[in-house]
């Protein structure tokens, strides 16, 4: 999975509440209001993250299977095994970096005074 293109598909404003309202009587809405004419719906943040995590899980499982096949003698293609392990490692490191950024953003938002 190409993570850059998956991240670029996230539509701004689909998961951030609208806080620009001057009047306090109106509750902020999360994302676009369903049913607006001419509005294009893209994948939600949740769906994008889920598909990215599924891709990482698939890479880890493929790496595990390739390593088992090499250990069992089912394959002699060491390059394929090493490439598979490194792809899984990179995907996992990317996921951990995203998690760290999301947690720090959440902590920063939770420290904001309302």
Residue 71: the pLDDT is: 95
Nearest-CA neighbor of 32 among 47, 21, 42?
A: 42
pLDDT, tens digit, 9 for 90 and up, residues 58-112 = 999 999 999 999 999 999 999 999 999 999 999 999 999 999 999 999 999 999 9
Q: Which phi and psi angles does 108 have, rounded to 5°?
A: -65, -40
Is the Cβ–Cβ distance between 40 and 9 less than 8 Å?
no
Banded pLDDT at 18 (limits 50, 70, 90):
very low
Residue 42: the pLDDT is: 86
Tokens found for residue 69: 């096949």
The total of other beta-carbon atoms located within 10 Å of residue 88's CB is 21
Radius of gyration of the chain (CA): 20
Residue 34: the pLDDT is: 59
pLDDT, tens digit, 9 for 90 and up, residues 20-57 = 544 555 555 556 555 555 556 888 989 999 999 999 99
Q: Which residues, 6+ apart, have CB-to-CB distance to 66 below 8 Å?
A: 75, 80, 81, 84, 85
H helices within 10-77, ranges in order? 45-72
């Amino acid at each position: 999975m190409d993570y850059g293109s998956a991240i670029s598909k996230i539509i701004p404003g689909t998961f951030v509440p609208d806080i620009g309202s001057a009047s306090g009587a109106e509750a902020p809405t999360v994302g676009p209001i369903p049913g607006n004419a001419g509005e294009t719906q893209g994948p939600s943040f949740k769906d994008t993250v889920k598909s990215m995590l599924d891709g990482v899980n698939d890479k880890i499982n493929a790496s595990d299977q390739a390593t088992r096949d090499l250990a069992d003698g089912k394959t002699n293609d060491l390059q394929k095994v090493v490439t598979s392990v490194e792809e899984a490692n990179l995907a996992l490191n990317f996921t951990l970096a995203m998690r760290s950024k999301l947690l720090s953003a959440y902590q920063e938002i939770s420290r904001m005074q309302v």
